[in-house]
Every structure is written in C-alpha cells, then in structure tokens.
C-alpha cells in the first residue's frame, strides 16, 4: 500500500483518490481474476464520472459568465450548452482507450496509462 502525505491528501479530489486506491488494490491481483476485472470496470466508471463533472462545471461556469445575474431568460441557452457539452463528452468517450484492459495496447494518451 502506498503512503500518502497530508499535502497529497488535501490536493487530491475524491474521485482521483478512489481511483488510486482501487489501482493499489488491483496491483496484487491476477490479471484475469473476476475482482481485477470488476475493479477495472469501477475505475472506468469513476473516470467517466470525473470527465462528466468537469464538463458540467465548465458548462455552468460559461452560463454564469454569459448571464451574470439574470437567469430568467436563458433557458434555451442553458439547454443548448448542456446538449453541446453532452455531445462533446460522447465524442471524448468514443475516442478514449481503456487502459484497464490487458489485451488493449496502451495509447499513451490516458491519464492512468497501464493502471499504475
């Protein structure tokens, strides 16, 4: 088990922390064990959630900047931005490789290449 400094704990968001803990647990498992596969699926789910949260936060920030204090007439603008960012998230997901699958070559683009 890796040691964490107080600084690292404070600077690491909850989703990244959970992913790292899962990777630590997965290190000791057989590549083809059911638990290894389940942990890999959980990591992928958390990574997608992290991406969606970032896009959602960016969307909210854009909307707030455009409509500083008056949100009464921005309903269509909000819907359009959310749909645009949802499409962008789908495109990102389609391009993303799965570093947790042992049979897939590493692309070098993923944040957690090779799961370590």
| Cα separation, 16 vs 61, whole angstroms | 22
Q: Could you tell me the two tokens for 64?
A: 């707030």
**Whether pTM exceeds 0.85:** no
pLDDT of residue 116: 38
Residue 74 contacts residue 59 (beta carbons within 8 Å) = no
Q: Helices 75-95 and 34-66, interaxial angle, to 10°?
A: 150
| Cα separation, 51 vs 96, whole angstroms | 11
Vertex 52 angle, CA 57 and 88, to 5°: 95
The whole-number mean pLDDT for each consecutive block of 10 residues of the chain, a chain of 116 residues, reads 85 92 93 94 91 79 62 62 71 59 46 43
């Amino acid at each position: 088990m890796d040691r964490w400094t107080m600084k690292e704990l404070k600077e690491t968001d909850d989703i990244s922390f959970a992913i790292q803990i899962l990777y630590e647990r997965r290190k000791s498992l057989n590549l083809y064990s059911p638990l290894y596969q389940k942990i890999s699926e959980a990591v992928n789910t958390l990574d997608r959630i992290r991406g969606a949260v970032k896009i959602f936060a960016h969307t909210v920030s854009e909307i707030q900047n455009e409509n500083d204090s008056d949100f009464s007439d921005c309903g269509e603008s909000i819907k359009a931005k959310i749909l645009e960012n949802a499409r962008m998230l789908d495109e990102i997901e389609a391009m993303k490789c799965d570093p947790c699958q042992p049979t897939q070559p590493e692309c070098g683009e993923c944040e957690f290449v090779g799961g370590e």
